Structure 1
Amino acid sequence: MAKDRIVQDPSDWINQYIKDSEEAIQKLSTDSLSVTSDDIQNALVEVLDLNSSTGLLYMELPAEKIICLLSSFDFSKYHPEFICEVTLEESIVPSDIPVLLTEQTIRAGGEIWMIHKNDADPFPSSPHAHNYPKNLVAHLGNGELYRKREILGKLKKKDLVLLRGLIKNVNLPTLEV
């Protein structure tokens, strides 16, 4: 660590990181996108190829270095633009897809699928549909259903076509089924 940044107590490391990241936020924010402290933290973890943000606290990262590391980083991926929300009267998720323990079972029929532009992760398709209550992501080209990156099943062709038909003014991936 540089002589002018000697830090002994762990809370000093944290306070210094906060101070430096706040300065970087001011420089990296634009008129069209306000960068947050979480954005800085996540971007640094990605750029420095760290396993977690904890390692940032013990690195020498003055504001100038943070700005240099992130000056060309695309922060817009952390702020996807909401495109549309589709509500279905009845579920199109196959019954053999495992239900999360956190899912409320009182919801018998309808589903809400959300589609974002510039999603941070274009997997499994760009765009794709999120069913947040069921923690599922649907590939809008072939209907495959994922939880994290594990494929759990597939929408029926008629259900995929129904879902796609309700999504307006969006370039969808090529229908593959």
Structure 2
Amino acid sequence: MNKIQQLIYVTLAPKVIERLSQELSVRITTEEMLLTLVTQTAKELQEVAELDLTYESIKAIYEKRDAFKSLSKVLATIELSESIIPDGVERALYEQQVKHKGEVWVIHKNDADPHPSIPHAHNYDANLKLHLGNGDLYKKRNIVGNIGKKALMALREKIVGIDLPTLAT
């Protein structure tokens, strides 16, 4: 394994990105992490690969990023004991799929896309967005289903300290 492959393997490991995302309360992609390391150190990829990077040094580099303040801030993460996505709603397919007892929905403070509601919830495992006012499920901007009022109310009850959209009648 060459130095660049080693850099990518170590710094972009899911545990590193997950820990950094949790500690900074933002959602970070692997591409964004590598781009940040290169742009913030003002070095070529090969030069970054030669650095002795630790988790703390990666975190320090990331915290200095100018655009850090404009990233979507995670307001809440909710894990449900059972799925609220109705049968028949197509889920995203990934190379590796980890099955959970329920789902995890993420609500961002400064989501760049106000669609479908302000705020709305993301289920990254299923690649879905949830309108928190009427329960509609979206893939991109297309409605693909609805979770139903009972499930929506159960989800909304778990969201604390966030102004939610008015419930549709």
Larger Rg: 1
Deviation at 1:109, TM superposition (A): 2.9
Structure 1's consecutive aligned runs of 4 or more residues displaced over 2 angstroms after TM superposition are: 32-36, 103-106
Of 121, 127, 131, the match for 1:129: 121
Distance change (3 Å), C-alpha of 1:104 and 1:154: farther
Q: Secondary structure at the match of 1:161?
A: helix
Contact 2:91 2:127 in 1 (8 A): no
Q: What CA RMSD, in Å, does the superposition of the two structures yield over aligned residues?
A: 2.7
Equivalent residue number for residue 173 of structure 1: 165
TM-score norm. by structure 1 comes to 0.55
Equivalent residue number for residue 112 of structure 1: 104
Of 77, 81, 91, the match for 2:73: 81
> Structure 1 residue 157 and structure 2 residue 149: aligned?
yes
Deviation at 1:35, TM superposition (A): 2.4
Distance change (3 Å), C-alpha of 1:109 and 1:176: same
Q: What is the total number of aligned residue pairs between the two structures?
A: 110
Amino acid in structure 1 at the alignment position of 2:159: I
Amino acid in structure 2 at the alignment position of 1:176: A
Identity of aligned residues (%): 46
Deviation at 1:140, TM superposition (A): 0.1
Of 79, 82, 91, the match for 2:83: 91
Distance change (3 Å), C-alpha of 1:167 and 1:33: farther
Equivalent residue number for residue 63 of structure 1: none
Unmatched segments (≥5 aa) in structure 2 = 1-38, 43-62
Matches within 5 A, 1:134-149: 134-149=126-141
Amino acid in structure 2 at the alignment position of 1:117: K
TM-score norm. by structure 2 comes to 0.58
Amino acid in structure 1 at the alignment position of 2:78: V
